[in-house]
Chains A and B, each alone.
Chain A
């Protein structure tokens, strides 16, 4: 269902970069690549293929299968009004990928979120901190081996609470 113009344009822009295309159920052009070519791929998609918006950066956890993580990027081109999806598999032991923030500064928060939720590191990200969970949280909640009810959800609060009570003046 992928529009042939999109495929043509992307293939032309990605000349010399190794990639496979897979059939996604929703008909979006989906590329599967190795991690080594990601940096080059982002640059080409941005500059040559004209994808000017990063829609999402996320990961899928296939625990307990290996390779465990599957990174997903999605880009939109306003001029051509089409989308492309990029996928890349990662093992748990070295879960890191290059950042795409130089091309799409708008991906910054998405990458921080992905780091927060899955623990995938983005090399070269200017400010890789947790986004949604508080700093000092020890787990990555969207990993499949993390229980829905959480592990010690109140730990950080309790620590704070202890400090609060130390200087507590009931009459003040």
Chain B
């Protein structure tokens, strides 16, 4: 793509011959609209078919997570982190656990980190598959939904075998993960890694060179790197504009610096670029999973949870047989005290920078748990990207920005 083309895309006036200029019209999109990802409401003002102003109204899924954390305590908040960005539950778990560990100042054992990387990357693939599925449904390519869900079902089966539930697994703990992956799960992941690239190719074959997909996505929702930065966009939306900033590379955690993977970037910054970036990210995630799996094979038998018993739950088997362990478990679940202070930790979620800002006063009740939701920033960009475009472009813009309301509203 040459600079000239980029320029044309950016200043692409809506090319339509619209007889009904002049009479502004207000259209309400949502909160229960099939093409919004969840319960987002957009109050749109139209001039003919052209969007003149957009007011995103969020909060229809505000469940009071931050307050919940403050009243429940550190450990009991874990299940609630799953339901933030509910298409990638385990990644959110890890984000919160990392922030708590930073506050507590503890290290996760090597194998625990490897399991986490595996889980995080599988979650990323899950999240991007939802993006592909829902966005293509919105744009009329219903088949893709079935293709992406077929792949997602395989991931569900893996998580089902590993954690016992398909979604909202809550399998990460402060100091590691709840249980080790066994051979069965490893085998399933290996099988998935063997078949997934071909499945992704199938999806790409149907979309990447598809004329309709091009028409609906290319040149839609263009944003420059500078604007994206100032709008606090992160993740694939920022990389789609061309800045190769990935927290996994820039501020590595869980040993990401030792893995070998690439950060895909776009060139134009439109919805199509974001799509390409996400497709490539899925492949990179598969690469990461392969590496993590190899390491897991080598480190068999090592701990996945730290030994530091101040913050870590005792093994389940001991809890049933020993009084001390039972008391320890009870204390950690209901009365875990993290040291006084504050900590911020951000992970690269599938939507962008997912950060947890925790403030503790040394007691068992958190003073503050702020969740820096990348989705909220993505919603914020909708008016900027949508102004001056056609109403039908809104669907592509919303889909391309990719947010999940559970995280936007918290």
Chain A residues close to B by CB (< 8 Å) = 24-26, 28, 52-56, 58, 60-62, 72, 74, 78, 81, 83, 85, 103-110, 113, 117, 130-134, 141-142, 144, 146, 148
Residues of A within 8 A of B380 (CB): 106, 108-109
Q: Does the CB pair A26–B345 fall under 8 Å?
A: yes
Inter-chain contacts of A104 with B (CB < 8 A)? 230, 232
Given the contacts A131-B58, A132-B62, A25 and B67 also touching, CB distance less than 8 Å: no
**CB–CB A25/B368 < 8 A:** no
Give the size range of B's interface with the partner.
Answer: 35 or more
- B residues within 8 Å of A by Cβ? 58-59, 62, 64, 66-68, 70-71, 102-103, 105, 226, 229-234, 243, 245, 250-251, 339-346, 353, 355, 357, 359, 367-368, 370, 372, 376-377, 379-380, 409-410
Contact A142 B66, beta carbon cutoff 8 Å:
yes
Cross-chain contact of A131 among B59, B103, B230, B367 (Cβ < 8 A): B59
Pairs A–B under 8 Å by Cβ, sample size 14: A25-B102, A25-B339, A26-B341, A26-B343, A55-B353, A55-B355, A56-B372, A78-B243, A81-B251, A85-B344, A106-B377, A117-B66, A131-B58, A148-B67
Q: Is B62 a contact partner of A133 (Cβ separation < 8 A)? A: yes
A132 B58 Cβ-Cβ under 8 A? yes
Which residues of chain B are near A55, meaning CB under 8 Å? 232, 344, 346, 353, 355, 372
Closest chain A residue to B409 by CB distance?
A: A132
**B contact residues around A53 at 8 Å (CB):** 229-230, 232, 234
List, in ascending order, chain A residues with CB within 8 A of B71's CB: 148
Is the CB–CB distance between A25 and B103 below 8 Å? Answer: yes
Contacts of A72 in B (CB 8 A): 357, 370
Say whether A56 contacts B370, CB under 8 Å.
Answer: yes
Q: Top 7 closest A-B pairs, CB basis?
A: A25-B341, A106-B232, A132-B59, A26-B343, A132-B62, A106-B231, A148-B71
Residues of chain A lying within 8 A (CB to CB) of residue B64: 141, 148
Contact B250 A24 (CB under 8 A): no
Q: Are A106 and B342 in contact (CB under 8 A)?
A: no
- Contact partner, B344, options A74, A103, A130, Cβ 8 Å: A74
Total inter-chain residue pairs, C-beta < 8 Å: 100
Q: Closest Cβ of chain B: how far from A20's Cβ, in Å? A: 15
> In the assembled complex, which residues on chain B have CB atoms less than 8 Å from the CB atom of A108?
380
Query: What are the residues of chain A within 8 A of B102 when measuring CB–CB?
Result: 25-26
* B357 and A74 contact, CB distance less than 8 A: yes
Is B342 touching A26 in the complex (CB atoms < 8 A)? yes
Q: How far, in angstroms, from A109 to B314 measured CA to CA in the complex?
A: 41
Q: Which residue of B lies closest to A55 (CB)?
A: B372
For B251, what are the chain A residues with a Cβ–Cβ distance below 8 Å?
81
Q: How close is B28's CB to chain A, nearest CB, in angstroms?
A: 15
- Residues from chain B with a CB closer than 8 A to the CB of A103 are 230
The CA-CA distance from A130 to B372 in the complex, in Å, is: 18
Q: Is the CB of A62 within 8 A of B367?
A: yes
The reply to whether A25 and B342 form a contact with Cβ atoms under 8 Å apart is yes
Contacts of A141 in B (CB 8 A): 64, 67
Docked Cα-Cα span, A28 to B355, in Å, equals: 14
A155 to B406, CA, bound (A): 23
The smallest C-beta distance from A145 to any residue of chain B, in angstroms, reads 12
Q: Are A52 and B67 in contact (CB under 8 A)?
A: no
